[in-house]
Amino acid sequence: MKIGFIGLGNMGGPMATNLVAAGHTVTGYDPVAPIPKGATPAQSAAEAATGADVVITMLPSGAILRTVAAEVIPAMAKGAVLCDCSTVDVDAARFVAEQASAAGLQVLDAPVSGGTSGAAAGTLTFMVGGTDSAFETVTPLFDIMGQKVVHCGVAGAGQAAKICNNMILGVTMIATCEAFALADKLGLARDKMFDVVSTSSGASWSMNTYCPAPGIGPKSPSDNNYKPGFAAELMLKDLRLSQQAAEAADADTPMGQMAAALYTTFVEQEGGKGMDFSAMLPRFEKRGRG
């Protein structure tokens, strides 16, 4: 398959590398990041998209997606698929889908879960919104870049699934960190806390798989001085997207709202930027009730 890949940073670069390794022809564009070995460099997003069967984008925001889409849609051949793997607001995903469809293109929003390690290993999870035909076209590429693909529904459904999932993740990580900090003050050993909670009704991915307490449970960023597997500022981005969507949909999400507020304080005022999102634990350790 001939693929245009736009956005070759920490996530897009290894994803494109895996497509090249699988034998696909990849033309890549990024204004800053290097082009993966084996891919053909393009001088613009439009050049990368020209003649491609599938154009994949991995971009930082909905505003940038809208700008890039305006450039690549006119350059793409009718019937080609525009597949956006960025995590952006649902409105941006649906706007781009409308623009692409009006130009005779197929379109998917397909945000991912799994982080940079999953991108490198080809073990990402894709949450996909769009038509059945577009999904069937791109599924062989998803299978190369990831280990699980879920077709969530129409355009925008992939983004909806991603932000709902990450709202749960942000809330449960905060609750897990709070509980460890409370256990410390109550004199409960962290390993005993983990043994109980990980096999009881308080179990969660944040506790069982990505434990924020160093030396407890499977290896996680807490065992590496909280160097990010999933940075706190990226969690904040996703929580803000969830609250933007909740406001637009008139949904009551008080826990999501509180999580967004706590991560805002952590990232912007308490040195959390550049740390893993599980570094909320040392943050709570230092704080008292007041």
- Cβ atoms of 192 and 201 within 8 Å: the answer is no
- Nearest 10 degrees: CA dihedral of 242, 244, 233, 83? 70
Q: How far apart are the first and last CA of the chain?
A: 59
The structure tokens 């894709």 sit at: 126
Active-site annotation holder among 37, 78, 162, 286: 162
Token couple for 128: 């996909």
Beta strands in the chain (DSSP E): 2-6, 25-29, 40-41, 54-57, 81-84, 106-109, 112-113, 124-130, 146-153
Look at residues 7, 198, 143, 174 and name the one whose alpha carbon lies nearest to residue 86: 7
Look at residues 7, 9, 24, 10 and name the one whose alpha carbon lies nearest to residue 138: 24
Q: Any catalytic annotation for residue 227?
A: no
Q: Would you mind telling me the total number of residues written for the chain in this entry?
A: 290
- Cβ atoms of 211 and 222 within 8 Å: the answer is yes
Label the pairing between strands 106-109 and 124-130: antiparallel
- Cβ atoms of 55 and 72 within 8 Å: the answer is yes
Give me the active site residues, please.
162
